[in-house]
Amino acid sequence: MHLALAVAMAFAAIQQPGIPDSILDVRTAEVASTLRCPVCQGESLQDSPSELAQQMKSVVRERLRQGETPDQVRAYFAGRYGEWILLEPKMTGLNVLLYVLPVFLILGGLVLIVFLVKKWTKTADAGAAK
């Protein structure tokens, strides 16, 4: 892995015509902000000060310079690290459950609260009527 990063950094040092540096910097920052740093807890590559994150940002920059789209760069990292590396994983398979389950739990809790409050108020009204 270190050899691949070293090679990517060497390629990054060579300026190729095509995308101007300012646009490349913006695209790199956009993609790096969607990828998780493997070293830091919950930080993106863009926000992480770790050396590995900086090396990975160099790989992102080089792949963008070579003409890959942001989605292709994300797919490259997801292929190497798994979908965990994506800060916002795609909503497919089990990931859909992770997005939908909290909503259903909250709605179910609200329904339960309403049901219990109605039951308690009926019991209190029945007791007061006697």
Statement: the pTM of the whole predicted model exceeds 0.75? no
Count of Cβ atoms closer than 10 Å to residue 70 Cβ: 15
Same-domain pairing of 77 and 100? no
Domain ends where: 66, 85, 104? 85
Lookup: tokens for 38: 């493997």
Q: Give the sign of the dihedral formed by CA 8, CA 12, CA 58, CA 20.
A: negative
Give the integer Cα–Cα distance in Å for 13 and 4. 14
The region, left, alpha or beta by phi > 0 then psi within -120 to 50, assigned to residue 82 is left
CB-count burial class (<10 Å; 0-12, 13-18, 19+) for 52: middle
- CATH code at 26? 1.10.8.640
Does 78 share its domain with 44? yes
56 and 105 inside one domain: no
Give me the pLDDT at residue 75, please. Answer: 94
Residues of the chain with pLDDT under 70: 1-20, 91-92, 124-130
Q: Are residues 27 and 10 in the same domain?
A: yes
For residues 39 and 59, membership in a common domain is answered with yes
Count the domains in the chain. 2
The rounded distance, in Å, linking the Cα atoms of 7 and 3 is 6
Does 15 share its domain with 70?
yes
Range of the domain at 41: 2-85
* CA–CA gap between residue 53 and residue 45 (Å, rounded): 5
Q: What is the pLDDT of residue 14?
A: 46
The pLDDT, as a whole number, for residue 104 is 92
Give the pLDDT of residue 88. 82
